[in-house]
Structure 1
Amino acid sequence: MQWLDILGLVATVFTTGAYVPQAYKIIQTKSTRSLSTPTYTMIVIGSALWLLYAYDRRDYPVMLANGVTGLLSLVILIMKLSAKEEATAES
């Protein structure tokens, strides 16, 4: 494995792993009030587009990174949208 491959792997772990603490905190606190819906929508769409690009190129590390990032972001987005619906229903 070349040093550039290792660098890419480390970058993938940090970039993808950055969403884990946020998802964990939301699951524990059940609070999504401070999150931006447009931001997470854009992240999900961007990850999906990167996933399609990587699939076409058969770039499996990029597919894995964006698949996991997209999935974690989608979970956060769904929790955010669900919280909005619950708040609206309670009003």
Structure 2
Amino acid sequence: MDTALVIGYLASLCSVTSFVPQVWKVFKTGDTAAISARMYALTVSGFALWSAFGLIRGEWPIILTNTICFCLSGCIFLKKLSR
């Protein structure tokens, strides 16, 4: 495995890990008052587009990171919209 791929997977791990505490807090407390629906709409859209880009390019670190972050941020966004 080359250095760039290792860096890509480490970046992926950091990105995914950064969303887990927020998802946990939202589902534990149900509190989404401090979360911007517009920001999460843009974030979810960005992750969807990055996932598509990764699929087109066949870049697994991009695909994995952004698909997982899409799901995590999508959960937060849906919870925000349901309030």
What is the TM-score of this pair, normalised by structure 1? 0.85
1:88 paired residue number: none
CA RMSD of aligned residues (A): 1.0
2:45 paired residue number: 45
Deviation sequence 1:6-37 (CA, Å, 0-9, x none)? 22111111112111100000111110000011
Structure 1 portions without partners, runs of 5+: 84-91
- What is the count of residue pairs matched by the alignment? 83
Amino acid at match of 1:65: T
1:76 paired residue number: 76
Distance 2:82 2:37 in 1: 11
Distance 2:80 2:12 in 1: 25
The alignment-based identity, stated in percent, is 31
Name the larger-Rg structure.
Answer: 1
